[in-house]
Structure 1
Amino acid sequence: MSFKKFIEPLRDSLESKGFNEPLPFQKQILSKIKGGASMFCIAPKGSGKTTSIVLSVIQKLKGEAFEDAPRALIFVENKQAALDLELEFNAYLRGTDLRVYCAYDEKNIDHQRDEIYDGIDVVIATPKRLNKIFYLNGINLNELQMFVVEDAEFLFRNHNFAEVTRTPESIDRCQYLVFAEKFDSRFERWQESFMFNAQLVKLKK
């Protein structure tokens, strides 16, 4: 997939940054993600995984805010990872009106619940905080279109895997995307529960 097939605001942002064509791994996955496939995207650092998340989410949501419930949920390890990913989104949001929000443990949960209730398109969240907000009826996942995990190695520390595994129980149809440096055998549980037909895509050497 070339950048020419993205919506105009994304094409403009990419051009302004001097990005003329996708990196090799992005060429493997971007068209598949655009087509709606659920995937395990496995590649080393520096292969463009994070930018692929940002571009794919903005493209899927057509760069347009819509009603109040989030349509994309991205799990990250901690506050710093959430803020870093938010910055990456902000670099590509020019010309769109998408609303991106970070939910992490160090912030007042009542404030987070109220801010999400006011209307958000993309939620970047740590697993424990997302689940706490959900159980307080502070987030509506009924409109979710994309469920993403960035740098998924963190899932296997501090019970994060169990926390994230709970969330799909409250979701109907959704596209699932997991980005990691290696495929962990524990992901096979997800293949047997909510990622039935997910593709495993590794960087071609």
Structure 2
Amino acid sequence: MSFASLGLIEPLLRNLQNLNYQTPTPVQAKAIPAVLGGKDVMAAAQTGTGKTAGFALPLLQRLVQHGPAVSSNRARVLVLVPTRELAEQVLQSFIEYGKGLDLRFLAAYGGVSINPQMMKLRKGVDVLVATPGRLLDLNRQNAVQFDQVQTLVLDEADRMLDLGFARELNAVFEAVPAQRQTLLFSATFTDDIRTMAAGILRNPVDISVSAPNATASKIKQWVVTVDKKNKPDLFMHLVAENKWEHALVFVKTRSGVDYLATVLDDAGYAVDTIHGDKPQPARLRALERFKAREIQMLVATDVAARGLDIDDLPLVINVDLPIVAQDYVHRIGRTGRAGASGVAVSLVCADEAPLLAAIEALIRQTLRREEEPGFEAEHRVPQTSATGEIIKKPKKPKKPKVPQGAPAAKPMPGKKPAAQHGASKSKPVAKHAGATVPEPSLGGFNPFSTQKPRGKPAGKSTGKPAGKPAAGPRKPGGKPAGGGRGKR
């Protein structure tokens, strides 16, 4: 099958040839004719299978064929996406596929000034790619009206619901014309999405080209169990041991992202970060540097789980598991794209067993487990299964029984008990390039540690020193120096 056999016009075919697109993917082969026919579509396909081209190519053709040009402060095609990164990616796809066509495109999202977006909308645009919040801001300021919207596209709608955009989505549904084409494209469809789809789609063409919520078969996945406090050390150990030089690293919190980036930087790795606190230009710059391999490691929160189109990314590392199981599919989908192979490694602690169980139930497989010598978890991670259940909780080691009436063990003559020597358990320290992992300072707090940040000791302070002060040196005659008082 060829793109020409799907009924695409010559300018689009020429652009696809320049982009080295040889044959349509399964989702494209099914979606393009349906969208060209004006039908509503609900398409599920794993990340990296070409969903964007599945709706962008036929919509570009319909815009060219149906005309006329759009009016001021209007858009003919409205594409809603959950994140700024995905908005930019979808915009670039429309620009590349529509090269040479007399069409106008715009991406609108928060985190940047709204004024340039309002200026570009004055002439009207054919395709507006937007996040829900910024779209409604533009609408409230009369910068964009919805009365000429012919097609509404929801790209990764499940993530929009996860991010709390349900109310904004409902507001958009009420504002756009009732007579329209509606398309839903995503790697995962939750029950909430299906309920929403039932209310906004009319006799949709249901497209599924893989098992629901499946991950790419060429991605090698496994987990390494570890205590939470040892995750940074294990991470650095694995990076050095396996000589990993280019990886996308996911961490749950912004403070965790900054901490891990500091560890990597101190160890000599080129690193940058993406999270919600960074301004959009800085986030885009970090992504471009990572794509150009100017940096080795990109550490990010789930804001980067979707919308990052990175060619030849070999490795994704989950230092923390995502709270939403579907985000695991999108995280590891950054590698193994378009039929390529990839690796996805997850560091899992005991507290994350329910998250692991939910992920395994979603992807319908039990992930292989490993332990790294020197980093064995003291708090064992319960066994899980693809049914989503925690099937086996680890047993606590039993203490040896002492026979009743037996005397307590006495220390050997001439030796003191170990406690009097100040003995303590040593913690494993990861090594990389022959050096120990540095301990960066973020206000003295390691976000991966189970210990709380140091603060004032519990209890009331009396303002008095605890216990008697040590006596000063004694003068001849037995009295302490300084009138019998030591210095305070």
TM-score in terms of structure 1 length: 0.90
Residue number in structure 2 paired with 1:20: 22
Residue number in structure 2 paired with 1:60: 62
Question: Against the structure 1 CA distance between its residues 52 and 191, is the aligned structure 2 distance closer, same or farther, given a 3 Å change threshold?
Answer: closer
User: Matches of 2:31 and 2:79 in 1, distance apart?
Assistant: 17
Q: Does 1:183 align with 2:189?
A: yes
Q: 97, 101, 108: which is aligned to 1:103?
A: 108
Unaligned 5+ residue runs, structure 2?
212-488
**How many residues are matched?**
205
Q: Does 1:125 align with 2:130?
A: yes
Q: Which SS does the other structure have where 1:71 is aligned?
A: strand
**CA offset digits 1:7-28 (Å, max 9, x no partner):** 2210111122232321122111
> What is the deviation of 1:192?
4.0
Unaligned 5+ residue runs, structure 1?
none
The RMSD of aligned alpha carbons is 2.0
**CA offset digits 1:50-90 (Å, max 9, x no partner):** 12122122112127671322110111122221112222222
Q: Which SS does the other structure have where 1:73 is aligned?
A: strand
> What code does the residue aligned with 1:16 have?
N
Q: Which has the higher contact order (CA 8 A, sep 6+)?
A: 1
> What code does the residue aligned with 2:195 have?
R
TM-score in terms of structure 2 length: 0.40
**Percent of aligned pairs with the same amino acid:** 26
> What is the deviation of 1:35?
0.8
Question: Against the structure 1 CA distance between its residues 76 and 65, is the aligned structure 2 distance closer, same or farther, given a 3 Å change threshold?
Answer: farther
* 1:1-205 matches, cutoff 5 A: 2-4=2-4, 5-62=7-64, 66-68=69-71, 69-172=74-177, 173-203=179-209
Given that 1:86 and 1:124 are in contact with CA atoms closer than 8 Å, whether structure 2 keeps it comes out as yes
> What is the deviation of 1:162?
2.4
> What code does the residue aligned with 1:82 have?
A
Question: Against the structure 1 CA distance between its residues 2 and 168, is the aligned structure 2 distance closer, same or farther, given a 3 Å change threshold?
Answer: farther
User: Matches of 2:24 and 2:109 in 1, distance apart?
Assistant: 31
Q: Which SS does the other structure have where 1:59 is aligned?
A: helix
Q: Which SS does the other structure have where 2:75 is aligned?
A: coil
> What is the deviation of 1:197?
2.1
> What is the deviation of 1:158?
2.5
Q: Which SS does the other structure have where 2:168 is aligned?
A: helix
User: Matches of 2:89 and 2:70 in 1, distance apart?
Assistant: 26
Given that 2:46 and 2:210 are in contact with CA atoms closer than 8 Å, whether structure 1 keeps it comes out as no
Q: Which SS does the other structure have where 1:101 is aligned?
A: strand
Q: Which runs of 4+ in 1 moved over 6 A?
A: none
Question: Computing the radius of gyration over CA atoms, which structure comes out larger, 1 or 2?
Answer: 2
User: Matches of 1:191 and 1:92 in 2, distance apart?
Assistant: 28
User: Matches of 1:192 and 1:180 in 2, distance apart?
Assistant: 16
User: Matches of 1:67 and 1:15 in 2, distance apart?
Assistant: 29
**CA offset digits 1:101-124 (Å, max 9, x no partner):** 011102222332232122211001
Question: Against the structure 1 CA distance between its residues 193 and 153, is the aligned structure 2 distance closer, same or farther, given a 3 Å change threshold?
Answer: closer
User: Matches of 2:53 and 2:190 in 1, distance apart?
Assistant: 22
> What code does the residue aligned with 2:60 have?
I
Question: Against the structure 1 CA distance between its residues 33 and 7, is the aligned structure 2 distance closer, same or farther, given a 3 Å change threshold?
Answer: same
